[in-house]
Amino acid sequence: MDDVLKKYLPERAVLPCLELIKETGVNLKIVNQRVTRHGDYRRLPNGTHQITVNATENKYRFLITLIHEIAHLLAFEKFGRAIKPHGIEWKKTFQYLMLPFIRPDVFPSNLLPVLARHFKNPKASSGTDADLSIALKQFDVKTNKTYIFELPWGSIFRIYNGKRFKKGNKRVKRYECVEIGTGKMYLFQPNAEVELLSD
């Protein structure tokens, strides 16, 4: 497991994460990229715990996701299954577990202030925190995807499932976009990754 974690985690995070995995007895599975989630936690019918995390070359995203999922396990064990998955108990557990990692020998210095802001009140997904998502993107493998906020008004773009949209006006934080095929209006987070189309 040590060698596997070295491939996916910042060097200084490997040993503490390995210890957390051993302490919790969780079965960690690293899976192919999923569009809808970075990771998940579940208690299996036999009572064991399983966490899946997307394989990614972005070691900082992997670390945040792994700790996010371990926080679910520990919050449920400490406070019971009746708590909200991303409620206050999970947030406090996540903050507590992440605190030892938010330092310059684990994360690049330009990420530290963004992480500090995020962990004042962590969201259900790092993807829903636009600032954190954009800051982490610089460590992703380069693709032909771009963010909604970077597109000019009226641009046509495609999302992961092939549906095409036209970018409209910004509403407080999100962008109104019309689906080309149906004319339905959808709201997109500014950090939604899309593929710009030429027509």
Same domain, 167 and 121: no
**Mean pLDDT within 146-153:** 88
Same domain, 108 and 174: no
CATH code assigned at 152: 2.30.30.30
Same domain, 79 and 34: yes
Alpha helices (runs of H) in the chain, residue ranges in sequence order: 2-8, 14-24, 59-79, 88-98, 112-118, 130-137
**Interval 52-66: pLDDT, tens:** 999 988 999 999 999
Same domain, 99 and 6: yes
**Interval 80-107: pLDDT, tens:** 989 999 999 999 999 999 999 999 999 9
Same domain, 108 and 131: yes
Where is the domain boundary, 116, 137, 158?
137
Same domain, 130 and 156: no
Same domain, 97 and 32: yes
Same domain, 46 and 94: yes
Residue 123: predicted pLDDT: 86
At 160, the pLDDT band (50, 70, 90 cuts) reads confident
Same domain, 151 and 112: no
Number of domains forming the structure of the chain: 2
Handedness of CA 156, 157, 162, 165 (dihedral sign): negative
Same domain, 28 and 70: yes
The whole domain housing 71 covers 2-137
Which residue from 57, 38, 190, 29 is spatially nearest to 124, judged by alpha carbons? 38
Q: What is the token pair recorded at 51? A: 């966490």
At 77, the pLDDT band (50, 70, 90 cuts) reads very high
Other beta carbons within 10 Å of 30: 17
Q: Nearest 5°: CA angle at 120, between 115 and 123? A: 80
Residue 32: predicted pLDDT: 87
Residue 199 scores a pLDDT above 60: no
Same domain, 88 and 170: no
Same domain, 17 and 60: yes
